[in-house]
Amino acid sequence: MFTIKHSTDELHRIFSGHEVTYRNNSEDIANSLNPEKLTVVHRVTVKGSDGRVTDVLDEGLVYVMNDRGSTVAKYDLDPLI
């Protein structure tokens, strides 16, 4: 079980999750012949302990902490400008 802290300019939440998945397709864009037609996907999907998708996060900062409170992953989902 993980604790997830999600922070945006407007929102700060803390919730639990069983599985955390990160998706980033920026390498696909770099290797594409038409990168302007592709969308950068920075997304964290968090599943609850029953396997249901709890949330899909696509902006802000996401911290994933283990059961001792140590940060095991940090994701900056804000696009590069």
Per-residue pLDDT tens for 22-79?
888 777 766 776 656 555 567 888 898 788 888 889 889 999 999 999 999 999 888 6
Q: Is 27 exposed, middle or buried (0-12, 13-18, 19+ CB in 10 A)?
A: exposed
Q: pLDDT at position 67, please?
A: 92
Q: pLDDT at position 35, please?
A: 58
Residue 6 has pLDDT above 90, yes or no: yes
> Which is more confident, 29 or 4?
4
Distance CA 67, CA 69 (A): 6
Of 74, 56, 58, residue with least CA distance to 17: 56
